[in-house]
Amino acid sequence: MNRRHFIQAAASAAAATTLAPHVRAASKSSKRKRVAMIVTEVRKMSHAQHFADRLLGGYGWQGSHHHPEVAVVSMYVDQFPEGDLSREREKRFGFRIYPTIEEALTLGKGKLAVDGVVIIGEHGKYPKNEKGQTLYPRYRWFKRTTDLFEASGRVVPVFNDKHLSTDWLECVEMVDTAKRLEFPFLAGSSLPVTWRMPAFEWPYDVPLAESVSICYGGIDSYDFHGLETAQCMSERRDGGEVGIKKMQALRGSAVWERLERDEPTRRLFLAALTRSETRVPLKGRTFAPPSLEEARAHCKDPIGYFYEHEDGFRTATFMMNGYVSDFTYAGLRRDNGKIASCLMYLPMPSVIATTANFFNPLCHHIEEMILHNRAPYPVERTLLTSGMTLFAMESLYRHQEQLNTPELAVHYRAAEESNFWRA
């Protein structure tokens, strides 16, 4: 090889080295697993917007911007309110909005043509029943999805946002269908996987006596988040989760009376409040510890849910509107009486900061499930917390009646690996 040929060969090699990453990226992009999104509405701050924008454009992960290894190729949008963003996203990212769920799943070809399904049945205008539950179409959409799976002779992973249904039998059917057809099914919200302050996790098989969570918001919405806050910690106890045998929802003065007479729950209630970043102190007592006096002064309509599990374990969740606006947890060890607590850090979007980065780890788990065909944690957690929410609504509807709940005999073992975001 003479000098001229050597220089030409070296230049070609350098060009190939420079272009190779782009070639690989293009090849990788063309082979990305395809995702269909089935959503209520896509407007600013809706859940569908938060999920879609991350799965389409990426999200912050481990110190850099992560570009998803899955591709949203289709979407079914149920409602198009003022301020709709779905059509703009369709034009910008190149996926297609289809008029039916079936066409979104098949890309108009008659048989399942995607590798994952993301169902976001949250927000939008839907009717409420006499108990105050919003009748979102999550179950119906899941049913139509799995009917198509069976007709196509193929299944793919499915994610369902938040609780499964407003009907317990429908919740059970959804989980049973996923097991019968043998596809990964992931459900729930960001609470179990968001940051924790401090970054605390119970050891696996820890001997626990009771869990308490404190939250805010409305029934049949943020109460589900509060229940997930407790359950994702409680499920790690020795023996695993064995289900709930009875429960009662209380409101108003009955909540304070319960806390005054139940010393272990009161200790946990006050411990969880020490982790709150939003607790409103009594006037002139900025650095005073939390107290029932302080809670009474600011929360005019307290709501408490109290559960007794089949193994004697107890869970209590409190909605303290006007007093706190975050999600905290405290748990009591059975062996040594020690309490541990933390804040589930969920910085809410504002007019200025609309990122809601607590959706990042949940999107990461969805992506990993679709890529590897494995759910990172059991869907039974969401089955149980869905039931806990439904029976709490029933107890309130029945004037705070205590309910026996043999239906909630949900047994499962948590994943030993912890899934919350430490970055």
Beta strand 185-188 with 158-161 is parallel
395 and 335 within one domain: yes
Show Cβ contacts of residue 327 under 8 Å, excluding neighbours closer than 6 positions. 191, 213, 214, 215, 225, 226, 229, 343, 344, 346
262 and 351 within one domain: yes
Which of 188, 218, 239 is at the close of a domain? 188
Q: How far apart (Å, rounded) are the C-alpha atoms in residues 116 and 139?
A: 17
Is residue 115 one of the residues assigned to a domain?
A: yes
| The dihedral formed by the CA atoms of 214, 352, 420 and 114, expressed in degrees to the nearest 10 | 120
Is residue 351 one of the residues assigned to a domain?
A: yes
Is residue 368 one of the residues assigned to a domain?
A: no
Cβ neighbourhood burial of 58 (10 Å; 0-12, 13-18, 19+)? middle
207 and 66 within one domain: no
- The alpha carbons of the chain give a radius of gyration, in whole angstroms, of 24
Higher pLDDT, 285 or 83: 83
> What is the domain count for the chain?
2
Q: What is the CATH number of the domain that holds 169?
A: 3.40.50.720
159 and 115 within one domain: yes
Say yes or no to pLDDT of 2 above 60. no
251 and 390 within one domain: yes
Is residue 282 one of the residues assigned to a domain?
A: yes
182 and 210 within one domain: no
How many CA atoms within 13 Å lie on the side-chain side of 251?
Answer: 13
306 and 287 within one domain: yes
Tokens 């990226």 sit at which residue?
25
Report the share of the chain in percent with pLDDT over 90.
87
263 and 126 within one domain: no
* Cis-peptide, bond into residue 376, ω within 30° of zero: no
Is residue 7 one of the residues assigned to a domain?
A: no
299 and 235 within one domain: yes
Q: Write out pLDDT tens, residues 259-306.
A: 999 999 999 999 999 999 999 999 888 889 999 999 999 999 999 999
Query: Measured on CA atoms in the order 398, 399, 405, 407, is the torsion positive or negative?
Result: positive
Is residue 362 one of the residues assigned to a domain?
A: no
Question: Residue 47: what pLDDT?
Answer: 95
- Domain of residue 150 covers 32-188
Instruction: Name which of 62, 64, 43 is nearest 52 in CA terms.
Output: 43
Q: Write out pLDDT tens, residues 139-159.
A: 999 999 999 999 999 999 999
252 and 135 within one domain: no
82 and 130 within one domain: yes
Is residue 150 one of the residues assigned to a domain?
A: yes
Which of 188, 203, 229 is at the close of a domain? 188
Which of 133, 160, 188 is at the close of a domain? 188
218 and 117 within one domain: no
Contact 69, 87 (CB under 8 A): no
Is residue 369 one of the residues assigned to a domain?
A: no
Say yes or no to pLDDT of 128 above 70. yes
